[in-house]
Amino acid sequence: MANELGAKGEAVAARYYQQRGYLLLNHNYRTRMGELDLILYKDGTLVFAEVKTRAGRQLSTPAAAVDPHKQQRLLRAAQTYLQNSPYADAPVRFDVVEVTPAEKGWQVHCIMDAFQG
């Protein structure tokens, strides 16, 4: 059930970016360092987006789940991706996207440049 919710949240986040002119390069890109939810490209910048989807009311924000340990794993996974990427020389940004159910559809809160690489 949680995987279904996560997949739905990632689809909502991907659509959010695409509506803003981003090109979706990869979805659920797996490395031995971990998984990158969304890899996008726009205006010369490569964006790694970590999507956090939550169903109910919780005290912490979804982004709080991206702690320093998780950030390091994402950085290492991104470095692995970049080794074989035509975008290796592009500036990189890490976003955290919070997706929560709303009355009509989904609420998306994008924290751009959520942590520095």
Cα separation, 83 vs 89, in Å, equals: 10
Can you give the pLDDT at residue 5?
86
| 3-state helix vs strand vs coil in the chain, percent to 5 | 30, 40, 30
Q: Tokens 């726009």 identify what position?
A: 42
Would the pTM of this model clear 0.85, i.e. be above it?
Answer: yes
Both tokens of residue 32? 């031995």
Top-confidence residue, 93 or 66:
93
What does the angle CA 1 – CA 62 – CA 58 come to, to the nearest 5 degrees?
75
pLDDT tens figures, 72-115: 999 999 999 999 899 999 999 999 999 988 888 899 999 999 87
For 2-51, write each residue's pLDDT tens digit.
688 889 999 999 999 999 999 999 999 999 988 999 999 999 999 999 99
Q: Are the C-beta atoms of 12 and 99 separated by less than 8 Å?
A: yes
